[in-house]
Amino acid sequence: MEDVRRTTAWVASRASHVKVDSSELEKIVDNINGSIPKVEWDFEGIHYFDNGPLTVQYLFVLDALNFCFWPDKDLSYDHLALGLKAALQNDKSALDADRLQSYSGPQLRELLNWPRPLPLEEERVRLLHEVGLELERSFKGEAANIVKSCGNSAVTLVALVARHFPGFRDHSLYKGHQVFLYKRAQIFAADLWGAFKGQGYGRFYDMSSITIFADYIIPAVLRKLGVLKYSSALSNSIDSNDEIAPGSEEEVEIRACSVHAVEKMRELIESKFRKQVLSVEMDLWLWSCGVQNRSLQHHRTLSIYY
Ligand SMILES: Nc1nc2c(c(CN[C@H]3C=C[C@H](O)[C@@H]3O)cn2[C@@H]2O[C@H](COP(=O)(O)O)[C@@H](O)[C@H]2O)c(=O)[nH]1
Q: What local confidence, expressed as pLDDT, does residue 294 receive?
A: 83
In a domain, 296, yes or no: no
Rg (CA), the chain: 19
Q: Which residues constitute the domain of residue 272?
A: 2-291
Give the pLDDT confidence of 204-224 residue by residue, as tens digits: 999 999 999 999 999 999 999
In a domain, 128, yes or no: yes
Question: CA 270, CA 206: separation in Å to the nearest integer?
Answer: 17
In a domain, 53, yes or no: yes
Task: Confirm or reject: Cβ of 218 under 6 Å from ligand 1.
Answer: yes
How many CB atoms lie under 10 A from the CB of residue 92?
12
First to last CA, the chain: 17
Concatenated DSSP letters for 194-246? Answer: HHTTTSGGG--TTGGG------SSHHHHHHHTTSEEE-HHHHHHHHTTPBPPT
In a domain, 34, yes or no: yes
Q: Whose CA is nearest to atom 6 of ligand 1?
A: 77
In a domain, 305, yes or no: no
Average pLDDT for residues 28-39, to the nearest whole number? 94
In a domain, 272, yes or no: yes
Closest CA to 218 of 6, 1, 8: 8
pTM (predicted TM-score): 0.98
Give the pLDDT confidence of 221-239 residue by residue, as tens digits: 999 999 999 999 999 999 9
The secondary element (H helix, E strand) that includes residue 1 is none
Spot the catalytic one: 206, 215, 239, 283: 215
**pLDDT at residue 173 tops 90:** yes
Task: Confirm or reject: Cβ of 155 under 6 Å from ligand 1.
Answer: no
Task: Please state the ipTM of this predicted complex.
Answer: 0.98
In a domain, 301, yes or no: no
Ligand 1 centroid to residue 277 C-alpha, Å: 20
Task: Confirm or reject: Cβ of 41 under 6 Å from ligand 1.
Answer: yes
Q: Into how many domains does the chain fold?
A: 1
Task: Confirm or reject: Cβ of 194 under 6 Å from ligand 1.
Answer: yes
Q: Rounded to the nearest 5°, which phi and psi values hold at 230?
A: -100, 150
In a domain, 222, yes or no: yes
Give the pLDDT confidence of 104-121 residue by residue, as tens digits: 999 999 999 999 999 999
Sign of CA dihedral 145, 151, 154, 159: negative
Q: Whose CA is nearest to atom 32 of ligand 1?
A: 284
Give the pLDDT confidence of 236-249 residue by residue, as tens digits: 999 999 999 999 99
Residue 283 a catalytic site member: no
